[in-house]
Amino acid sequence: MELYEAIEKRRTIRDFQDKPVKLEIIKRILTAGLKAPTNNHLREWEFVIVNDKNERLKILNLKDMTSYAECEKMMDSYGMTDSDQRGMYHIAMPKQFSMLYNSGCLILPFFKLREPLMHPTCLSSLNEFASIWCCIENILLAAASEGILGVTRIPMEEELNHIKNTIGHPDNYAMPCYIALGYPKEDAKLPIQKVINIEDRIHINH
Ligand SMILES: Cc1cc2nc3c(=O)[nH]c(=O)nc-3n(C[C@H](O)[C@H](O)[C@H](O)COP(=O)(O)O)c2cc1C
């Protein structure tokens, strides 16, 4: 698939077919991740793949938000007024656990920390964090080119503590998000993607 086509095909989906992703495909996708630009040349990234459903249950310490009213309240508290954005949250919030549990492949990416992530002293303190997100975008695009879509979720503090206690990763590695990948259900819900006119966003020479 051509790169621009993969960029167009990549969408966030949260409804997966009950179909595993073959390990050789996962390896291909992660190899594309490992080609991403990196701040210090070393690509100190590790990937924990959790495809055993019992193991998933052990590491996932979160629930779907089942109440419409609770979702509305959360969006109001964040001051969200855009109707497309609110529509996306109504699709996403009831699936935060189930999308991870039901995906064909659940990846926990880790990057090596140089400084405490939550206490940066300058912009370059965040280089490791920025680099792993370049890796994650490569993974999502490579997956799209294989017909595999998915979603990233940012874990809450208690989820991270639970994962640390469960899998016992080293203290100097951090997980920026979960990556759930898989084959989309035919009726997978797609929020309206904001279409942005490039003419509105470029500022030439000034
Ligand atoms: C940094 C980042 C954090 C995100 N966090 C979540 C999340 O916690 N839960 C979720 O369901 N989707 C999450 N997403 C997916 C976004 O909701 C999605 O990318 C956005 O709505 C645009 O839709 P699209 O990817 O289909 O274009 C995240 C995406 C990014 C890049």
* Structure confidence by residue, pLDDT tens digits, 159-183: 999 999 999 999 999 999 999 999 9
85 in a domain, yes or no?
Answer: no
99 neighbors 180 (Cβ within 8 angstroms): yes
Helix (H, G, I), strand (E, B) or coil at 148: coil
Structure tokens at 145: 């080119």
Q: Is the pLDDT of residue 85 over 70?
A: yes
Q: How confident is the model over 95-108, as pLDDT tens digits?
A: 999 999 999 999 99
User: Total structural domains in the chain?
Assistant: 1
Q: Is the pLDDT of residue 151 over 80?
A: yes
14 neighbors 188 (Cβ within 8 angstroms): yes
Q: Is the pLDDT of residue 59 over 80?
A: yes
**Band of residue 1 on the pLDDT scale cut at 50, 70, 90:** low
Which string of DSSP letters, residue by residue, matches 89-120? HHHHGGGTTHHHHHSSEEEEEEEE-SS-TTS-
87 neighbors 160 (Cβ within 8 angstroms): no
Choice from 10, 93, 153, 160 to test ligand 1 binding pocket (greatest atom count within 8 A of CB)? 153
37 in a domain, yes or no?
Answer: yes
- Once rounded to an integer, what is the mean pLDDT over residues 32-43? 97
- Once rounded to an integer, what is the mean pLDDT over residues 153-164? 98
134 in a domain, yes or no?
Answer: yes
> Cα 58 to chain center, whole Å?
19
- Once rounded to an integer, what is the mean pLDDT over residues 36-52? 97
75 in a domain, yes or no?
Answer: no
- Once rounded to an integer, what is the mean pLDDT over residues 77-98? 96
86 in a domain, yes or no?
Answer: no
Give the CATH number of the domain where residue 52 resides: 3.40.109.10
Q: Can you give the pTM of this predicted structure?
A: 0.97
- Once rounded to an integer, what is the mean pLDDT over residues 70-95? 96
Q: What is the pLDDT of residue 196?
A: 94
CB atoms within 10 A of CB 102: 19
Q: What is the pLDDT of residue 202?
A: 97
Protein residues with CB under 6 Å of any ligand 1 atom? 11-12, 14, 88, 92, 96, 151-154, 191, 193
Q: Is the pLDDT of residue 86 over 90?
A: yes
Q: Is the pLDDT of residue 74 over 90?
A: yes
Q: What is the pLDDT of residue 19?
A: 97
Distance between Cα 205 and ligand 1 center (Å) = 32
Q: How confident is the model over 111-145, as pLDDT tens digits?
A: 999 999 999 999 999 999 999 999 999 999 999 99
87 in a domain, yes or no?
Answer: no
pLDDT > 70: percent of the chain: 100
191 in a domain, yes or no?
Answer: yes
Q: What is the pLDDT of residue 4?
A: 96
Q: What is the pLDDT of residue 10?
A: 97
Distance between Cα 109 and ligand 1 center (Å) = 16
Range of the domain at 153: 3-62+97-200
Helix (H, G, I), strand (E, B) or coil at 151: strand
57 in a domain, yes or no?
Answer: yes
